[in-house]
Structure 1
Amino acid sequence: MAIFALQLTFKNNERRLAVRPAHREYLTSLKEAGKLVAAGPFGDETGALLIYDVADEAELRDILAKDPYTPEDVYEIATLKEWKQLFPLS
């Protein structure tokens, strides 16, 4: 397993807000499945940080392809990197 940090930059805000409930429902299912470690928007609502626990980058890309945000084109990937967790989230 590998942990990945994903930083998103939001765009198309009106469209993003319309699909956000479906996006959050999808994230909830990923959290319940153990694939999503943590997620949330930045305080200024310009983007978000998500931490995934997946087999590899290919699995993460598949997860992103299924996210309701993706076909709506409401974000850009600012950073996608494997992350070495030093301290656990509590």
Structure 2
Amino acid sequence: MAFYVVQLRFDLAASDRRMEVRPAHREYLTELKAAGKLVAAGPFTDQTGALLVYDVADEAELRDILAKDPYTPANVYELATLAEWEPLFPIS
């Protein structure tokens, strides 16, 4: 397994559409967390984007997960960062 960090940059012009889709997005994240695929997630306090940490087999699995996120077809974000991450301290 590998850890990946994803930073989303929200399309501020699409805020209303993002708010409509957000319940489905958060439900999807809850399912990923329960399945052990999502380590941490949350929006930035200024609501310009979000940071997510995934524990997946590889980048292909992560991209599949992102493609299935309700935010993706709603086109409410830009992928600012997608990088494999090596934690310095263990994640509990």
Shared fold (TM-score, shorter chain, > 0.5): yes
Q: 2:16 aligns with which of 14, 28, 44?
A: 14
Which digits, 9 at most, give the CA deviation of each residue in 1:13-50, with x for residues without a partner?
A: 11000000000000000000000000000010000000
Q: Does 1:36 align with 2:30?
A: no
**Counterpart of 2:65?**
63
Cα drift, residue 60 of structure 1: 0.2
Identity %: 74
Q: Which runs of 4+ in 1 moved over 4 A?
A: none
- How high is the TM-score relative to the length of structure 2? 0.95
Aligned amino acid, residue 50 of structure 2: A
**Counterpart of 2:26?**
24
Give the 3-state SS of the residue equivalent to 1:85 in structure 2: coil
Which consecutive unaligned segments of at least 5 residues does structure 1 have? Answer: none
Cα drift, residue 89 of structure 1: 4.6
Aligned amino acid, residue 26 of structure 2: R
Count of matched residue positions in the alignment of Structure 1 and Structure 2: 90
Q: Does 1:4 align with 2:30?
A: no
Counterpart Cα distance in 2 of 1:32 and 1:85: 21
Give the 3-state SS of the residue equivalent to 2:3 in structure 1: strand
Cα drift, residue 87 of structure 1: 1.8
- How high is the TM-score relative to the length of structure 1? 0.97
